[in-house]
């Protein structure tokens, strides 16, 4: 990725600041660029959990208790 060139809307090449991505491994923060090829591949193919689309959240929304005037 170091040899990738970036251009603005006018077609002029722009310089970008490289940034390091860190992830937690066994309680320690480690830079991803120090991973071996297999570990990098696994890291970039991860799927992150989103509670908003989980099956449990759909169930809770469907069967939640609705507070109505009749219960008072």
pLDDT tens column, 12-46: 998 888 889 998 888 899 999 999 999 999 988 98
pLDDT on residue 29: 92
Helices (H) and strands (E) in the chain, counts: 2, 4
Q: d(Cα 43, Cα 37) in Å, to the nearest integer? A: 10
Q: pTM here?
A: 0.44
DSSP state of 35: S
């Amino acid at each position: 990725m170091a040899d990738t060139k970036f251009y603005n809307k006018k077609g002029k090449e722009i310089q970008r600041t490289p940034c390091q991505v860190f992830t937690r491994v066994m309680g320690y923060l480690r830079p991803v660029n120090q991973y071996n090829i297999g570990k990098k591949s696994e890291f970039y193919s991860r799927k992150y959990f989103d509670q908003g689309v989980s099956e449990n959240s759909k169930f809770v929304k469907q069967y939640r208790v609705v507070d109505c005037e009749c219960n008072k």
